[in-house]
Amino acid sequence: MLKVVKVSKEFVSGDGHVSAVDNVSFEVPDGQFVSIIGKSGSGKTTLLSLLGTLERPTKGTIEVGGRDVASLNDHSLVAYRRKKIGFVFQSYNLLPNLSALENVMLPLGFAGVPRRERKQRAQELLNEVGIKDDKQNRKPSRLSGGEQQRVAIARALANKPSLILADEPTGNLDSETGKMIFELLHNLARSENTTIVVVTHDLSIAGKTDESFRLQDGKLIAK
């Protein structure tokens, strides 16, 4: 269970404090596929950063499995992110000098998984997301956008996280490929019982998720 309770995030700007996320509360049961929608600047990416412990909230608590992750120290946060969170970014964010396989092996290495096991798990994941053996040793620059996003999803799944956070995962893809990626995430949520939170402004995608939250000016205005 992901439980967000009265979370706010303020930033200091030249004119004073800006509230990017303002008193937001919601809950997501395990294995749910939910979306957060809103216009540009509504605070959805900041909220995703807070859920992924990339930022600490100014106020409020974020509980995952009954544990307040916002109160963890820096060292514990790194370990938490490594084991419990998987990120999927709009522009994929694969390391350009590593092959698809090596990109997926990277978080497994951070978690201390032995090399042979790492390779096997990465190959399985890449096969699962549809990247066949002949493309697994290619650098990201030699893969299409859709393929790169599949690799990014495989990387997010590497350490079997309980929560996957995806920021505009179809934003850089054509509608057909975007649809395939969405289906992939949906299926993973089902098969792996992983909670997936997707930030998007694509209402057609949001409509197909188990639940959808709308943000406006940092506030959660509707489900």
Q: Which chain residues interact with other proteins by CB under 8 A?
A: 45, 48-49, 52, 54-55, 75, 78-79, 81-83, 86-87, 89-91, 93, 95-98, 102, 105-107, 109-111, 155, 159, 167-168
Q: How far is the CB of 97 from other proteins (least distance, A)?
A: 5
Q: How far is the CB of 106 from other proteins (least distance, A)?
A: 7
* Residue with smaller CB distance to other proteins, 192 or 210: 192
Q: How far is the CB of 17 from other proteins (least distance, A)?
A: 18
Q: How far is the CB of 91 from other proteins (least distance, A)?
A: 6
Give pairs for 101-108: CB < 8 Å, separation 24+. 101/126, 101/136, 101/137, 103/140, 103/151, 103/152, 103/155, 104/151, 104/154, 104/155, 104/158, 105/158, 106/155, 106/158, 107/82, 107/155, 107/158, 107/159, 108/158, 108/159
The residues, any chain, with a CB within 8 Å of residue 112's CB and separated by 6 or more, are none
* Residue with smaller CB distance to other proteins, 122 or 184: 122
Instruction: Count Cβ atoms within 10 A of the Cβ of residue 136 and give its class: 0-12 exposed, 13-18 middle, 19 or more buried.
Output: buried
* Residue with smaller CB distance to other proteins, 106 or 180: 106
Q: How far is the CB of 137 from other proteins (least distance, A)?
A: 13
* Residue with smaller CB distance to other proteins, 109 or 207: 109
* Residue with smaller CB distance to other proteins, 5 or 54: 54
